[in-house]
Amino acid sequence: MSKLIIGASRGIGLELVRQLTQRGDDVIAAVRSSNAELDATGADIHTGVDVTRHDSLHELADKLGNQPLEWLLVVAGVMSKQRLGQLDQDAVDGIRQQFETNALGPLMAAEALSPWLAPGGKLGILTSRMGSLADNTSGNSYGYRMSKAAVNMAGVSLAHDLQEREIAVALLHPGWVRTDMTRHDGLIDPEESAAGIIQRMDALTLDQTGRFWHAPKGEPLPW
């Protein structure tokens, strides 16, 4: 069975595709557009997939035909910063874009593609500890924090709704990772982050569904 990764063109998503294909898994990589690095992984690549365009997610589902999925991993995400005192129209547009991508995107991907998950399949959503209410000790980053808190809530509802089909859901914080998103600042490289995510997904069972994980550390995070 295949593992579908959405948002695989660079950063953590690309590294997930690399590591999964290298260990011999059957990987489908869904991206807005591909590049030489992704092409080189040998994954089955689907372009034109944008998590904010629901039609593109349903088109991808149609292309899967009757191919069942073992994992659906939604990695796509964006980050921009909005500060109190500077919440002008541009800031509002930025907050809305983060909601569309980070919160609605994974939910609509689950709507379109979870029917392809086989019983015992797994849904992983890349979230962030910046979406944790308990862990917010520094404020700021309104759109990113709000959108990741929202996707955490969506993930818990998905865990309940998919339980009957024996599909386990994990909300995965990837660590603070050196990618384009962090301007290559961070504590770990995508290699370590992706390895932790794969380990967490491999180990995920139905009795742990709906939990919020620090994936590379393998520890639960507070909501």
Ligand X SMILES: NC(=O)c1ccc[n+]([C@@H]2O[C@H](COP(=O)([O-])OP(=O)(O)OC[C@H]3O[C@@H](n4cnc5c(N)ncnc54)[C@H](OP(=O)(O)O)[C@@H]3O)[C@@H](O)[C@H]2O)c1
The least distance separating ligand X from the CB of residue 158, rounded to whole angstroms, comes to: 16
Shortest Å distance, C-beta 166 to ligand X? 26
Q: How far is the CB of 96 from ligand X (least distance, A)?
A: 13
Shortest distance in whole angstroms from residue 155 CB to ligand X? 12
Number of residues that bind ligand X (CB under 6 A): 28
User: Is residue 196 at the binding interface for ligand X, with CB under 6 A as the rule?
Assistant: no
- Pick from 1, 34, 47, 52 the residue near ligand X by CB under 6 A: 52
| Alpha-carbon gap, residue 43 to 210, rounded angstroms | 28
Distance in angstroms (rounded) separating the CA atoms of residues 223 and 212? 7
Chain centroid to Cα 213, Å, comes to 13
Tokens, residue 211: 């939990």
**48 lies in the binding site for ligand X (CB under 6 A):** no
Q: How many residues can be counted in the chain?
A: 223
Site for ligand X in 14-33 (CB under 6 A): 31-32
| Beta carbons of 26 and 1 less than 8 angstroms apart | yes
Strand partners, 123: 72, 169
DSSP 12-64: HHHHHHHHHHHTT-EEEEE-SS--HHHHTTT-EEE-S--TT-HHHHHHHHHHH
User: Do 162 and 123 form a contact (C-beta atoms < 8 A)?
Assistant: yes
Residues between 131 and 170 with contacts to ligand X, criterion CB under 6 A: none
Question: Which of these ranges, 45-53, 82-90, 152-160, 210-218, lies near ligand X under the rule CB under 6 A?
Answer: 45-53
Q: In the sheet that 69-74 helps form, which strands lie side by side, from edge to edge? A: 44-46, 26-30, 2-6, 69-74, 117-126, 168-173, 211-214, 219-220
Q: Which is nearer to ligand X, 122 or 178 (CB)?
A: 178
**Per CB under 6 A, does 124 bind ligand X?**
no
Kindly tell me which residue out of 140, 157, 182, 199 binds ligand X, with binding defined by CB under 6 A.
182
55 is a contact residue toward ligand X (CB under 6 A)? no
For residue 175, the one-letter residue type is G
User: Which span sits near ligand X by CB under 6 A: 10-18, 60-68, 134-142, 162-170?
Assistant: 10-18
Q: Of the two residues 76 and 149, which places its CB atom closer to ligand X in the complex? A: 76
Cβ pair 117, 69 in contact under 8 A: yes
Using rule CB under 6 A, residue 174 touches ligand X? yes
Contacts with ligand X by CB under 6 A lie at 7, 9-13, 31-32, 50-52, 75-79, 101, 126, 128, 173-174, 176-177, 179-182, 186
